[in-house]
Amino acid sequence: MARIGFVGLGNMGAHMVRNLLKAGHEVSVFDIVPAAIASVTPNGAKAAANAAEAARGAEIVITMLPAGQHVRDAWLGAGGMAAASAPDALLIDCSTIDVATAREVAAKSGRAFVDAPVSGGTMGAEAGTLTFMVGGSPEHFARAEPILKQMGRNVIHCGVAGAGQGVKLCNNMMLAATMIVTSEAFVLAEKLGLSHQALFDVCSTSTSNSWALSSYCPVPGPVPASPANRDYKPGFAAALMAKDLGLAQEAVEQVGTASPIGAHALSLFRQYLERGGGDKDFSGIINMIREGGVK
């Protein structure tokens, strides 16, 4: 078993740490929120005084942080984790950030490094069924894969450094747009006097089926495990979806392609945040659509 340093114990990271502990690893943890550290020490995690201490002496160091600047500062800043880690350590960043920062950290860390953002939300993190999209060299991927498989079900090598982030942004852009149009269809069905169950039974077995419908249905009832049955408790918070859509649009501008649907999805999620939906699951956007006034 390995000695692992883990920094970033939010809704996702804490569950990921627990799965590493269940697999028998020794895990040293840090988060700027003391309560987050306290949430995993009863499971056997060892509290570190700071990020560098969590990384020091670890064979594998993992981060799960909110944004690119946090990742850059944690790894490359004064007293950063890359310098504190052993020369032969493997560094894994599971945050969802911009491609350029992922490539910068990989190039400047001086260590084996992969970016490995995830899909699956808090339910997947808790169940250990996440999908990891990994960017880095084949050699670094081979080292990371066994550890990632102890936190997830699918571990996919997407290409060079930054490729994992690129795939994640494309994935979430598709997911956001699919959830919006699924929500629009349910609201239309309501106005037409159709039942949620009838629409679900038909669409989940026909050409309009999608993960947003069959696994994460935005109305209560048809999929008991979906956040719609828990007053849209995330799940995957709408604020995070808006962040990822913003990163996707930055990438669109950088490469000079077109993404009118992705851009409109970002606009709609920003409207949802302005209406106070940021801490709700992203599928809660159906409530804004139902209420009207959408621009």
Active site residues: 168
Of 104, 142, 122, nearest in space to 64 by CA: 122
Sign of CA dihedral 96, 100, 101, 106: positive
293: left (phi over 0), alpha (psi -120 to 50) or beta: left
- Which 3 state secondary structure label does DSSP give 124? helix
CB 187 within 8 A of CB 196: no
Cα distance between residue 137 and residue 159, in whole Å: 7
- Cβ(102)–Cβ(164) below 8 Å: yes
Phi first, then psi: what are they for 148, rounded to 5°? -65, -35
| Residue type at position 264 | H
The torsion angle over the Cα atoms of residues 163, 169, 170 and 172, rounded to 10 degrees, is: 140
**Angle at the Cα of 181 from the Cα atoms of 291 and 245, rounded to 5 degrees:** 95
The DSSP secondary structure of 154-167, one letter per residue, reads EEEEEESTTHHHHH
Euclidean distance between CA atoms 235 and 220, whole angstroms: 14
Measured over the CA atoms of residue 111, residue 114, residue 115 and residue 117, the dihedral's sign is negative
